[in-house]
Amino acid sequence: MDFMSTVKGSLLEGFYPAGWDMAKIDACCDKGVKREDFWNKKFKPIACDNVAEFDTLMGHEIALQIKKARDKGEKLAMILPVGPMGMYKWAVFFLKEWNVCCDHVYTFNMDEWCDADGNTLPSDNPASFEYSMKQAFFNKLGKLTVPESQRNFATKDNLPTYPEKIAKLKAEGVKLVLIYGIGRMCHIAFWEPQFAAEFKSVEEWKKQPYRIAAKLHPLTIEQNAITSFKSRTTLVPCRANTIGPGLFLQADYAIGGCDGALSRGMGWQGMSFLTTLHYGPDMNITSTFMPTLPGKLFYLSELAGPLVAECN
């Protein structure tokens, strides 16, 4: 019995984006991490045996990009996520160990929770992404930190300034580094796959720089209930301000992370990870464009499969 034969007439009908080829997604789950022709020649998945190794290697890669720019006397622009998060501890560790000042770095947080009008949580609310970034990264860097005037957060007023600010930096020759995680629905930032249905072509889709009060997919809400709110779905906002492909596809280098494994063999990110690697670029599945960018994608080894039924 195939999956799609059970969907018709069920509560799942219309739940997944119309542009998803479920049979093709299922085939991706059996391919492991073998290279595809459409991958950028400088795109490289890197396996990690456990979360500690994952956090350390990803944090080192972030810190190394900052150090390289500093050593060259160049500015650096970075698009930052709040998830994964463990890498920031190690990015701070290496930057302090190397005594690298970050006053050459310009940061753009990719998204933020909001209400239906795009109003975000107060910056001192522990659930806000701005608060999380300050606690995990900016504050811990101490005197080496990124100047406040060079930090950007995805508020209703500031997010629309991202395109001009990033364009100005890139016009100066500044390298743009994207740091990202892959959502359960294969989103990058909170650019959900169902948004693709609004556009007539991938070219039009690629031009979209951001969205205020983006409506999140139910599985995105549940993913965040599990990963950030200790299962309490009622605390998860249903909307977020987010950058779009018009910004994150401008990246000159991308550092990705997939650490979505839970206890006792359970996980939520395996299918998303393998679909990202093997489906091929498609605007209906946002993350499928990530292998077309140069960079590294760190992942927990178990996410590569086999993804088979187990009773846990």
Residues 245-286 pLDDT 10s: 999 999 999 999 999 998 888 889 999 999 999 999 999 999
Assess whether pLDDT exceeds 90 at residue 177.
Answer: yes
Backbone angles phi, psi at 133, to 5 degrees: -65, -40
Cβ atoms 242, 191 nearer than 8 A = yes
Assess whether pLDDT exceeds 60 at residue 1.
Answer: no
Assess whether pLDDT exceeds 80 at residue 3.
Answer: no
Assess whether pLDDT exceeds 90 at residue 53.
Answer: yes
Tokens matching residue 175? 């390298």
Which range has the worst mean pLDDT, 9-18, 185-194, 216-225? 9-18
Domains, the chain, ranges and CATH? 41-304 (3.40.50.1360)
pLDDT at 95: 98
pLDDT at 8: 65
